[in-house]
Structure formats: C-alpha cells, structure tokens
Structure 1
Amino acid sequence: MSNVIQSINIFWGADKVFEEATHSLDNTTSLATVLAHISEKEIKIKDANLPPTPPMIVENLIIFTDDYGGVMEWAILGFSNNVLRHTKVEIHNLWLCNPPDKIHEDIVKNYDKDIIKEHKPKYPTITVEDMKTIANGFNKSVIGQPHVMKQVLSSIYALKSSQRKRPVTLLFLGDSGIGKTETAKYISKCLNSDMVRIQFSMQQTNSAYQYIFGAEHGEDSLARELVRRSSNVILLDEFDKVVPAFYNAFYQMFDEGVFVDTNYSVDVSKCIIICTTNYRTVEEAEKNLGTPIYSRFSKVVIFKPISIEDKLTIASSRYAEVIDSLDDEDKALIESNGVLPFFEKAIREGSYPNMRMLRNDIEDAVNLEILKARGIISS
C-alpha cells in the first residue's frame, strides 16, 4: 500500500496544548478505533467471489499521551507498518502527543521529513524582573527562612545565560513543615508556571523501579510525567525516600538536562529542579544520599527551625486568611472567638514544630467554631 499520509504533527509537552491544537479538527478518529478495526476479523463466505473490503478512511488520527497504554507490543514495534500503513486503514493526517521513543524513531525513519512537523514546548526563560519578584515577596510568603532566597537566587541566576543548558538542581534540607515545599511553590507561582510535583513517598512499593526506570509503555512513569509537563519548575518531594540504588537514574538528568528511561528521552535543560529531604545537615545528607548524587546539586540549602516569634506571625497570618475566606454570615457567627489566642498559647508552650499542621489545625478550629455557632454540633 502506498504511503497516503499527507502530514504528521508531533506535539511535545502539556496535553492541554495538544488538545487546543486538535479540538477544532473535523473527522477525527482515535487510535483505539483504528486498532479495533485492524484487529477485527473478516468473515469470508466460501466460494464467494467478493471484492476486497475497502480500507477505513481516517482523515485525522488523533493520539493522546495516555493512548499509547492501550497499544499492544506488536503495534509499538514497527508502528508505521503495523498500524499507519496497514491495508485496512487509509490515514491522511496524523496527530501525536508525546509518542514513546520507539514510535517516534519509527515514524522519523519511515516518513519524509517534509511532512513531519514537531511542536516543542517553549518554556519562559527566567528574567531579572522575575528574580526581583521572587526576592521581594519571599519573606512574606515563607516566614522564618530569610536566608533561603539569597542562596537559591544565586544558583537560579545561572539560567539567565543563553549558554546554560543543564538544569539548576537545589537540595533543600530540614525538618518537615518549615517551608521547603512552600518555597518551591512560591518560585513556581512567581514564574506563572504550573509546577511539576513528584512525591517519592508514594514510590515505596515494588513498582518504584518501574516508575523511575520505565517498564511497560502504558504504565505511569517519571519520564512520562516530565515529558507532559507545562513548567520548567520540577519538585522532587521527599527525595530521601528514593532507594539509594536508584539515584543513578538522575545522574544524566542533573549533569546534562536529559532524563532517559526505557520509553522516553526527556529534555529538562534549563529547568529548576528542587529536591526536598528531612535531613538536617549536609553531612547527614551526603552520607545517606551518597556522594555521587549529592555532588551533582548546584546548591544545598538548609532550612532552619522556625522561631516562636515567626510561628506566632504564621499563626496570625493563617488565621486572617481563614477568616477572610468566610462569607459574611459565617464571619458574623464567630465575630468573637478564642481560636487565635488558643494557638498562640500552644506555640509559646512549645507545640507545633510543623507549620503545615498548624495551618490545617487553625482552619479546622475556625470551622469547628462555626459548626458550634450554627448548632450543628454541641460545645
């Protein structure tokens, strides 16, 4: 069968961009529909001299990032011959989002480069104005860590250079709930980006190896989350939960800005990669993470325990946020309450080392007062 495909558009990055590019297309067909048609067995009538069944006409074949999970291995290997050029289909235009390397390489090898257009994401470059914004508002957003942003920005500034390709890699040390994750979120917010957050505490099962190094093309993996990102800010939360033997998967990522597994080669150049741990000292971090990965960080930043004065400021700020979020009726119901004094007393007596817990408890306490005032629960 001749090659009838007229155009091939390959989109890399966020699914949303691909959806916007294809939503107005007419006469679209999914990969699942094409595969089902190819696999369908024809019923032949003995001795009947029937003409061959014409191929299914596919004007626009649309393949989303998650669609490859439904593709059998036989179709992945030799995707062009087994699917795109199959005699039972006639495909005119092909639209793919984040194809695995095997499919991408097969298409590039089998089709004229003149009909292939690759759409690569354009992540905003960090500017001096961005860094001024980050610096100016940090101490109000993340209270109790005034030294942190000076250290962080001295590393991030390297991304301003057009010659810089490898990512900035930051290792945050310190107890839980004292501002590490909040700092990453703050940086992402200042850059108007939707930060990629990978929680390695969720990867403590037997599937952790497959998640990091890649396994079946249809399974969730770190590479697939990275390739479909919409931001150049990546948070690898609780990085200390990764099995030490797996850290070699990140060497090339930190050194060259490329993350490779069995299915994808992902460009993470010029990213800000933030790894958080609960280690308190550089000695403890290097011992447990291992020198090979530890030495690859651009900067190691220690988050200090938060003072009582700063905890009181955080409590007051959080209480004000919760009250401001209430409607007028709820505000009037609890115009006078003892929530903030209760937490201020607890802080002075040495409670609440974890600010995340403090913030949640203040919100719960305010809601409890409202429930009491409404007579929903008893005092």
Structure 2
Amino acid sequence: MKIDVFFEPEPTFSRRVNKLNGTFHFAKLLKYLDEATTTTNEDETGETKVNISFTSDISEFQNNHICVIRISDLVGYRSFVFEKIDAHLQILEQLGVQQVIINNPTRILLSNLEQRSDLIVHNKLPFKKSSITKIDSLVRDLNSQIIGQDIAKTAIHRKLIVQHVRTGDKPLVLMFYGNPGIGKTEVAKVMAKSLFGTNKIIREQMSMTAGTASAEYFKATGHSENSFSKVLLNRKSNILLLDEFSLAPAYIQTSFYQLFDEGKYVDQNFSVDMRNSIIICTSNFTSKKQMKNFISPALYSRFDAVIPFVDFTPEEKIEVANRIVDSYLKSGKIRSQYIKLIDVNNVKEHVHQMVQHFSNFRAIRNLVEDIIADELIGNSEWED
C-alpha cells in the first residue's frame, strides 16, 4: 500500500483529491469502526495483527481503493487515532486499499509513519523566493500606490534584493514602526498582491494576545483546536503581518524565535514550513528606543531591518485626500444616483482647507466622508 503525504493548503489538496476516482474518507471509516468488533493477535513473526468484524455494510470501502485522511475531518477524535495509525493501516490493507493520501499530518502522525518503506512525503517548498522581475514590479506598485514613505520603500527594496541573492531560505523579517494610519499595513498588502498575486495575507493583532486562549492558539493543546499553525498551513501568500508585535506578551513572543531564524513554526501538533516568507511586524511606537523596552534583545536582533514610517507632509496630505475623494466617486462606494449631485471640485476645495488638521489616512478618510455628506445635504435635489 502506498502512502502519500502532502503539505499544502486544504483547498489545493481538495482539488487534488477531486481529480481522483475511487476515494473515501478515513473519518467515515472511523465511524464504522466504532460499531465494529476488533481483536488482535500475534502472527508467527511476533507482529501484532488486527482482525475486525464489521456489523454494517462496508462495500463503500471495499469498492474504492484510495483512502483520504484530512486532519480537519478528525476534529472529534483524540490524538490516540494518530498514535495507533499502524493498526488502522492494517485494516485498510485488509479492505484492499491501495493508496492512502494524507493532508498536513500532525507531528505525532508523521512520526508514526516515518519508519514505513511505503511512505512518500511531498514536502516541496510551497513558496519560492521573489524573482527580480517581481521585486521590480513591487517597487513600481509601491511608488504608484503608496504616498510618501520613500525611506521605507527604499529599505524594503534593498532587503528584498538581499533575500533574493543570499543563499539559504531564511525568512525576511521586517519591523515597520511609526504612527498609526500612515501606510504600514497598506504596504504589506501591496507586497502580497505584487509578489504573490493576492491581497489576502495572514494578519494577527498581537496586542490582543493575552491569557489562556491566546497561549493555546499560538502553542496549541490539541489537533482539533483552532491554532495559528493551522492558519499558516492554509496560507495563500508567503507574507505574514503581525500587527503591534511589540505589545504581545513575552510568552507569546517566544513562539517566534524558530520562525524568525529558520522559517519553521512548530507547536505541539504541527510543524509549518515558512521558508522564504516575508514576516512583517508593526509597531505604533515612534522610536527604536521605545520598542526595545517591549521586545527582548535576543528577539529584536532577529529583525533584518527596522524601518521607520514617517508622518505625511502637508503636500502628501493633500494627495491622500485627493485620492480618497476620487476613489469614492469612481469605485462604486457611493450610489450612482448621488454621485451626480456632488461637485468634486467643491469637495476637494473644502477638504484642502481642513486636511492639514488631520494626521493619518483614517482621519482624512473620515473628513472626506463628512464633506461629501455635507455636499449632499446642501443640495436641493437631495432625496432618498
């Protein structure tokens, strides 16, 4: 019997399985086994053999030759199932199963399979380093989409080149720091879209990590629980955003030493390959000295770059405001019957008069929304 292990996101694995004929899910077999009678004995070689007597129809398992094991299907089962996988594999062989396909096995399950000669682990590196072509494309996207932050853009470009040319596949670990609402998170999203073709990034709010629930999430106490490692296993890009990392408790920060160093995230249940990843930590502190009071020297030294994000200049505030106004009127954020009632030049003129009193993107966006509302309220054609 052939055993294939695939470390890949569940949707990718599902597409792989859907192309196959003659499959059944291991979780369904376990339900049948709960009702069956099982006995064990030793053969002439001293090996333990499992004999099973089913009490219900098992034709589904006998007529299909591929067993699919997904950890997400085994939420209701304890790790005992993984510890006794040899016994279950014997049963599958008795049923005539020719192949077992496993997605993202737990560490216990994989360790109990490693001695088998019929095991093949497909552990291809899930994400490659960013090519020079993609890095150049990112630079163009950052310049066109992110207002200001020239120092940050230059530092990011430099470090991406460093990651590309160096040997090995260690993650690139960056710390973005500066006041809120000036582009740190938006830069991370642009990087994901440009480098990996998706704006879906894994984003964790680290300032909220405290207490037992967070400890279990980042360190995991059971394979059936929601965990950070499961989120990483199913990521769509190789960019990880850890917001307000410096405010995470020390016992949570220690979970990231191996990830920052080796590109591997390990908890009690899973080991996740994060090589070649780009890990972006953010902080709303405005100086390195402030951050160092909240991050241990050992962890701080693991950042490849600590990159400042500076406040908008007066000219940049006007540019931000203009882009927000244009996006509201051209992107479908306002119902079409109201757009015709808005004098764009009048809105921008009022925004320009007030925008210097506001410090970040969110505040400027709220200003734009209020002025657009005032423009509509003052229009004689305004109606529901």
Q: Same fold (TM over 0.5)?
A: yes
What is the TM-score normalised by the length of structure 1? Answer: 0.84
Specify the code of the residue in structure 2 equivalent to 1:132: D
Specify the code of the residue in structure 1 equivalent to 2:235: R
Q: How far did residue 75 of structure 1 move?
A: 0.7
Identify the residue that residue 47 of structure 2 maps to in structure 1: none
Task: State how far apart, in whole Å, the 2-side matches of 1:311 and 1:72 are.
Answer: 56
1:173 pairs with 2:181: no
Identify the residue that residue 269 of structure 2 maps to in structure 1: 263
Distance 1:250 1:117, change over 3 A: closer
Q: How far did residue 64 of structure 1 move?
A: 3.2
1:252 pairs with 2:252: no
Report if aligned partners of 1:63, 1:97 keep a CA contact under 8 Å in 2: yes
Identify the match of residue 124 of structure 2 among 120, 124, 137: 120
Task: State how far apart, in whole Å, the 1-side matches of 2:175 and 2:228 are.
Answer: 19
2:242 aligned counterpart, secondary structure: strand
Specify the code of the residue in structure 2 equivalent to 1:76: F
Alignment of 1:1-379 (within 5 A): 5=1, 7-41=2-36, 52-53=53-54, 56-57=61-62, 58-81=64-87, 83-86=88-91, 91-113=97-119, 116-118=120-122, 120-161=124-165, 163-194=167-198, 195-326=201-332, 329-335=337-343, 338-348=346-356, 350-351=357-358, 353-359=359-365, 362=368, 366=372, 375-376=383-384
2:365 aligned counterpart, secondary structure: helix
Specify the code of the residue in structure 2 equivalent to 1:37: Y
- 5+ residue gaps, structure 1, are 43-50
Report if aligned partners of 1:200, 1:236 keep a CA contact under 8 Å in 2: yes
Task: State how far apart, in whole Å, the 2-side matches of 1:124 and 1:275 are.
Answer: 21
Q: How far did residue 129 of structure 1 move?
A: 1.9
Identity of aligned residues (%): 26
Task: State how far apart, in whole Å, the 2-side matches of 1:227 and 1:354 are.
Answer: 34
Q: How many residues align?
A: 358
Select between 269-278 and 361-370 the one with higher mean Cα deviation. Answer: 361-370
1:138 aligned counterpart, secondary structure: helix
Distance 1:92 1:323, change over 3 A: same
Task: State how far apart, in whole Å, the 1-side matches of 2:71 and 2:369 are.
Answer: 38
Specify the code of the residue in structure 1 equivalent to 2:277: C
Q: How far did residue 38 of structure 1 move?
A: 1.1
Task: State how far apart, in whole Å, the 2-side matches of 1:90 and 1:337 are.
Answer: 75
Select between 97-106 and 334-343 the one with higher mean Cα deviation. Answer: 334-343
Task: State how far apart, in whole Å, the 1-side matches of 2:258 and 2:118 are.
Answer: 31
Distance 1:201 1:68, change over 3 A: farther
2:20 aligned counterpart, secondary structure: coil
Report if aligned partners of 2:65, 2:97 keep a CA contact under 8 Å in 1: yes
Specify the code of the residue in structure 1 equivalent to 2:73: D
1:147 aligned counterpart, secondary structure: helix
Identify the residue that residue 47 of structure 1 maps to in structure 2: none
CA deviation vs aligned residue, 1:102-158 (integer Å, no higher than 9, x gap): 112212223524xx2515354243122222222233233111211111112222212
Q: How far did residue 269 of structure 1 move?
A: 1.7
Specify the code of the residue in structure 2 equivalent to 1:235: L
Specify the code of the residue in structure 2 equivalent to 1:30: H
CA deviation vs aligned residue, 1:172-200 (integer Å, no higher than 9, x gap): 11111111111111111111343332232
Specify the code of the residue in structure 1 equivalent to 2:342: I
Distance 1:291 1:179, change over 3 A: same
Report if aligned partners of 2:66, 2:97 keep a CA contact under 8 Å in 1: yes
Q: How far did residue 317 of structure 1 move?
A: 0.6
Task: State how far apart, in whole Å, the 2-side matches of 1:204 and 1:368 are.
Answer: 43
2:75 aligned counterpart, secondary structure: helix
Q: How far did residue 292 of structure 1 move?
A: 1.3
Q: How far did residue 368 of structure 1 move?
A: 8.3
Task: State how far apart, in whole Å, the 1-side matches of 2:171 and 2:223 are.
Answer: 26
Distance 1:303 1:331, change over 3 A: same
Select between 104-113 and 336-345 the one with higher mean Cα deviation. Answer: 336-345
Q: How far did residue 345 of structure 1 move?
A: 3.0
Aligned-residue Cα RMSD (Å) equals 2.8
What is the TM-score normalised by the length of structure 2? Answer: 0.83
Specify the code of the residue in structure 1 equivalent to 2:111: E
Distance 1:52 1:169, change over 3 A: closer
Task: State how far apart, in whole Å, the 2-side matches of 1:28 and 1:202 are.
Answer: 42
Report if aligned partners of 2:82, 2:112 keep a CA contact under 8 Å in 1: no
Specify the code of the residue in structure 2 equivalent to 1:189: K
Specify the code of the residue in structure 2 equivalent to 1:221: S
Report if aligned partners of 2:36, 2:53 keep a CA contact under 8 Å in 1: no
Report if aligned partners of 1:201, 1:241 keep a CA contact under 8 Å in 2: yes
